[in-house]
Amino acid sequence: MRTARKLLIALLIVLLLALIGGGIAWTILNNGNAARPEAVAALSSDAAVTVSRPAGEDWYVFTPTAATPTTGLILYPALFLALLVLAVNLVGESLRTAEDDA
């Protein structure tokens, strides 16, 4: 009886570890949150926002064209979320805010 119980516990531990490992591998290999080409293409300066990327850096600067900014926002992307996806959303949100103010 004890042997069967130990075997069942060992089997459950192995199954749990396999599920966790499989979930981690699936998450790493299936990064479905990457920026699509149309999102990257939309990340460009326009009448409301100037978008720039300093040379040799891995970050973007969004500067409003209508006013001089007095504060800034540092955005750290979530796990497996492409920074470009967040950047495009920020530019879109700033455009909506600028349109609402007008």
Which positions ≥6 away from 48 have C-beta within 8 Å? 64, 65, 66, 94, 95, 98
Total tally of structural domains belonging to the chain: 2
Question: What pLDDT was estimated at residue 95?
Answer: 45
Q: What is the pTM of this model?
A: 0.44
Residue 61 one-letter amino acid: V
Query: 18 and 5, same structural domain?
Result: yes
Same domain for 22 and 58, yes or no, is no
Task: Please tell me whether residues 24 and 47 are part of one structural domain.
Answer: no
**Which residue range is the domain that position 42 belongs to?**
33-101
**What's the pLDDT tens digit per position in 2-59?**
898 999 999 999 999 999 998 888 877 776 666 677 777 777 888 888 888 888 877 7
Say whether both 63 and 25 belong to one domain. no
Same domain, 39 and 80: yes
Indicate if 50 and 97 belong to the same structural domain.
Answer: yes
Greater confidence (34 vs 101) lies with 34
Q: Looking at the structure, tell me whether residues 77 and 45 fall in a common domain.
A: yes
Same domain, residue pair 54 and 97? yes
In angstroms, rounded to a whole number, what is the distance separating the alpha carbons of residues 102 and 89? 20
Alpha-carbon distance of 7 to 21, in angstroms, equals 21
* 90, 49: one domain: yes
CA-nearest of 95, 3, 2, 78 to 42 is 95
